[in-house]
Structure 1
Amino acid sequence: MSDEKFQYVLRLADNALILSQRLSQWCGKGPALEEDMALTNVALDLIGQARLWYAYASELEGKGRSEDDLAFLRDAHDFHNFLLLEQPNGSYADTLMRQFLFDTWHYFCLQNLAESPDDKIAGIAAKSLKEVTYHLRRSADLVVRLGDGSQRSHEMMQSALDELWRFTGEMFTPDAIDTALQTAGLTKLCSELKPAWDAHLSEIMREATLRIPDANSWMQTGGKLGVHTEHIGYLLAEMQFLQRAYPGATW
């Protein structure tokens, strides 16, 4: 059970880290000063959450690897984040839609984990939930404003939703690790989060006048198992360069 818990916590850390890295690429390039600062602050929140999850993962693994080792010294196939989060930023519409789809899952996931009998999982989740509540409120508000905005903004938001939809199924597809945690009573199956995710998604998309793609359409999976799109290699090359170039370097 300890290995499954380690793998599960590592996934949570990888999700936060990879999305944080993507959002940090907007720094100084946001469509408006307020949004530039907001995206950077969300990235900082996520990197803080990633550190907490990595620290606990390191403790569970018991091999002496630090949070920095887990972040900077693993290759692409050792990362287990959702494929959705490694997708390129694209336009601001793409970034915002990706954020909303994940924020909605993240919110309900952390709500669930905050009630876990594992005190550390519950504690990290409860702390993170305060930040993610704001993340979801912000991204949902912007999806509505742009979806129900001009014809151009509506078209861009709809295109972003259509393009990213195939990556959403992975968030609710349980595997052996998810099942092991559920059997141990530490968390619900990820599939049990889907009704709440669907309900919130439907509400926001209705306000945004956006059409939700077919729920039965094909979904791309693999990220949770370490099978990624080509995009993660470039992301990690940028993120890990300094530590790889100068192993063990300190400030």
Structure 2
Amino acid sequence: MSDDHVYMTLAEGHEDDTRWAYGTGFEDPLHGVDTTVPEGVDAGELAAQCVALADDALVSAQRLAEWVTRAPELEEEVALANIGLDLLGQAHLLYSRAGQTDGTGRDEDAFAYFREADDFRNVRLAELPRGDFAFAVVRLLALSAWRLAHFERLASHPDPVLAAVAAKGVKELTYHRQYAAEWAVRLGDGTDESRRRMRTALEQVAPYLEELHAAYDARDELTDVLRQVTEAAGLTVPVSRALPGSGRDGEHTEHLAPLLAELQSVARAHPEATW
């Protein structure tokens, strides 16, 4: 089965193929943007929103980095690493904005490397263990479709900095979603083994979808993307009971702390170092 029609539908309205991680689009998205918090925008709420979105990106990027040397092909290793770089770029800008607006003046390193697990506000789907390639594909599909819908709305946010970050992120996330959609169809419509693994991956991701909706309601967009892709792959998204708790409230799985320990080890061993 060809998966071209899945791309064409998902990419509709996003013809601009500029992607920072692939060597283009290096212009500063915040160049000339007024960093003053606009009147009527609550600075504390803005900072909290930026931190949560940055945490999602940072933790997702760390999981994607685990595919370096482990991906099924060199091309996919490079692609996943570059998607992770896109997300790191988003986290950098969002943490910087949070530090500007929360009154602390913290930089992105302070947010990324010197907070404990229960201070992080990422959704729990991002922190689950690497799993196999099918799980990586399904997780990336769900997170990128959800985040893309959110960023499309944030591109018109009254805070010009957050709006600029979101507008840049829309281009990147459109590619992330397309990449995941292509592989989901290939694996679902592939061998018996790849199809079995895709079914298992969908079962593993499904309990965390409700948390995404609760963190930011993009139910219609996410459901539509998952429906299109799984139908093209000859699969379905299983109905699953939502798991209690929320990463947005600092309630995490046992997997986040070890991930952060690895991520933060160098910075904490050399807290005054610069590079």
Q: TM-score, normalised by structure 1?
A: 0.90
Residue 212 of structure 2 is aligned to residue 166 of structure 1: no
SS at match of 2:220: helix
Q: How many residues align?
A: 234
Q: Tell me how far 1:224 sits from its aligned partner.
A: 0.6
Whole-angstrom CA distance in 2 between matches of 1:82 and 1:88: 13
Q: Which residue of 1 aligns with 2:13?
A: none
Whole-angstrom CA distance in 2 between matches of 1:7 and 1:143: 33
- Does the aligned pair in 2 maintain the 1:83–1:221 contact within 8 Å? no
Whole-angstrom CA distance in 2 between matches of 1:228 and 1:161: 20
Residue 91 of structure 2 is aligned to residue 50 of structure 1: yes
| Letter of the 1:243 counterpart | A
Residue 232 of structure 2 is aligned to residue 207 of structure 1: yes
Whole-angstrom CA distance in 2 between matches of 1:19 and 1:220: 21
Q: Which residue of 2 aligns with 1:185?
A: none
Q: Which residue of 1 aligns with 2:5?
A: none
SS at match of 1:173: helix
1:41 to 82, 85, 88: 82
1:19 to 60, 76, 79: 60
1:59 to 84, 92, 100: 100
Q: Which residue of 1 aligns with 2:16?
A: none
Q: Tell me how far 1:62 sits from its aligned partner.
A: 2.0
Q: Which residue of 1 aligns with 2:30?
A: none
Q: Which residue of 2 aligns with 1:239?
A: 263
Q: Which residue of 2 aligns with 1:72?
A: 113
1:219 to 243, 253, 256: 243
RMSD (CA atoms): 1.1
| Structure 2 unmatched ranges of 5 or more | 1-41
- Does the aligned pair in 1 maintain the 2:137–2:184 contact within 8 Å? yes
| Letter of the 2:78 counterpart | M
Q: Which residue of 2 aligns with 1:130?
A: 171
Whole-angstrom CA distance in 2 between matches of 1:72 and 1:138: 29
Q: Which residue of 2 aligns with 1:85?
A: 126
Whole-angstrom CA distance in 2 between matches of 1:38 and 1:171: 25
SS at match of 2:135: helix
SS at match of 2:70: coil
Whole-angstrom CA distance in 2 between matches of 1:218 and 1:35: 31
1:196-229: CA deviations, max 9, x gaps? Answer: 21112111110111121116x2334320111100
Whole-angstrom CA distance in 2 between matches of 1:157 and 1:234: 26
Q: Counterparts of 1:91-170 in structure 2 under 5 Å?
A: 91-170=132-211
- Does the aligned pair in 1 maintain the 2:99–2:108 contact within 8 Å? yes
